[in-house]
Amino acid sequence: MSLPQRPLGPFTVPAIGFGCMNLSHAYGGFPDEASAIALLNRALDLGCTFLDTAALYGDGGNERLVAKAVMHRRSEFILASKCVLDYRDGKRVLDGRPETIRRTLDDALIRLKTDVIDLYYLHRLDRNVPIEDSVGALAKAVQQGKIRTIGLSEMSAATIRRAHAVHPVTALQSEYSPCVRNIEIAAVGACRELGIGIVPFSPVARGMLAGAIRNDGYAEGDIRRQFPRFIEPQLSHNLKAVAKFNTLAAEIGCTPAQLSLAWILSKGEDMIPIPGTRDIAHLEENLGAVNVRLEPAMIARIEAIFTPEAIRGGRYTASMQAQIDTEMFPYEVAE
């Protein structure tokens, strides 16, 4: 499979990357190690050579998995990881202090069995630490050759500008899909003004736009069990809009996941979504989205489905939303 390429800072990456998170974090039912290793190698074989992990995922286990699976092919891919969100003594912590960032990065390099990470994100904004201090720690890591470029995740336009003033930012990672469009409020504009690439995560809305959710009977450990829009009574309402979206996909002869990814790709050459999956067939399906061409009329029909009232329930619980700096629409309420 030949994937079109897009620029991301100093890198050239495939138009669709691979989010490694759900191989060992967030959704439960993880694949066995052999299957995960086969999947990651298949991604590289198909030209999906932009891999995204984080210290948080599996308490470092995801970084170790990536190392075991593909680090022997290090020259073939662009590697992204993240700091600030992590586990400490078995508990999730948010810590953007420079000394913590340095420790997390050093540990990540060991886990990943590499000398340098291509793109290293601040996973979330620690409101107790000036963003300038956190970015400053990463700027020093660039000088030391431990990382090549700096990224931000789920941050507002104002924070992006403050961070970029300290050191050039290569990428903003945020949730983005036809039914989650918060970054359009201000972040996309700021990124385009500053020449920052955009890396949408959850581009198929945590499975909602991939035909994967029919009820809220999620597996033990699945984080969607606590997200308001993925549980009843909100879910039944939301699936009505999803059914209309699925009908559009069938109309043009693609899958819902491909339609969602094609919609993101249509939004600009600076968009590089990173869907995740635990299944090789789904990986190949996702990458097939590069062959789906959307006419303006179809894009308008997609967006007409997901009006403000179409999706009920917050993206996160109130406590989790407190760690999100991305702008919210006036009608959104953290629950």
Q: Which helix (H) or strand (E) holds 45?
A: helix 33-45
Residue 82's alpha-carbon distances to 60, 62, 204, 218, 248, in angstroms, are 11, 11, 21, 27, 36
Q: Give the phi and the psi of residue 51 in degrees, each rounded to 5.
A: -105, 135
User: What does 122-153 look like in DSSP terms, one character per residue?
Assistant: E-S--TTS-HHHHHHHHHHHHHTTSEEEEEEE
Whether residue 57 lies in the annotated active site = yes
Active-site choice (27, 57, 120, 218): 57
User: What does 189-208 look like in DSSP terms, one character per residue?
Assistant: HHHHHHT-EEEEESTTGGGG
Torsion of CA 228, 231, 236, 242, to 10 degrees: 70
Q: Rounded CA gap, 230 and 222, in Å?
A: 11
Q: Which helix (H) or strand (E) holds 83?
A: strand 78-83
CB atoms within 10 A of CB 144: 11
Catalytic residues: 57
